[in-house]
C-alpha cells in the first residue's frame, strides 16, 4: 500500500511546546485551530496520530485525505456527462 497524505485539524493554536510533540508533521496554525499534515503509511498510523492528539486533550474537528500530486508528465483526463448540452 502506498503512503497517503492526511490533514488533521484540531481546536486551539499549538504553541512551541505542543509543536514539538508533532515534529514528524507539518504544522500550520490558523485562526483558533492547528492543522497537522503528515504522510502516513496506513490507517493504523492515522489512528495512532489521532490518538496522540486526543491523548493531549485536544479536540479533532476535521480529518482529510489529500489528493496525490499529479504524476510527472501525466495529462489530465476530462470526462463529460452524456446528455449535457
Say whether pTM exceeds 0.85.
no
Cβ atoms < 10 Å from Cβ of 16: 6
User: Domain coordinates of the chain in residue numbers?
Assistant: 4-65
Q: What is the DSSP string of 27-52?
A: EEEETTEEEEEEEESSHHHHHHHHHH
For the stretch 44-82, pLDDT in tens is 999 999 999 999 999 999 999 998 777 776 665 655 555
Tell me the three state secondary structure of residue 21. helix
What confidence category does residue 27 fall into, taking pLDDT thresholds of 50, 70 and 90? very high
Q: Which CATH architecture has domain 4-65?
A: 2-Layer Sandwich (3.30)
The pLDDT score that the predictor gives to residue 48 is 97
Mean pLDDT along residues 28-39: 96
Backbone angles phi, psi at 10, to 5 degrees: -130, 160
Residue, of 80 and 36, whose pLDDT is higher: 36
Amino acid at each position: 500500500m502506498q503512503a497517503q497524505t492526511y490533514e488533521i485539524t484540531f481546536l486551539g493554536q499549538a504553541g512551541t511546546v505542543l509543536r514539538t510533540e508533532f515534529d514528524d508533521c507539518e504544522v500550520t496554525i490558523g485562526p483558533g485551530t492547528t492543522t497537522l499534515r503528515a504522510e502516513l503509511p496506513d490507517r493504523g498510523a492515522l489512528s495512532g496520530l489521532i490518538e496522540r492528539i486526543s491523548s493531549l486533550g485536544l479536540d479533532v474537528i476535521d480529518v482529510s485525505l489529500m489528493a496525490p500530486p499529479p504524476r510527472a508528465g501525466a495529462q489530465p483526463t476530462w470526462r463529460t456527462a452524456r446528455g449535457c448540452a
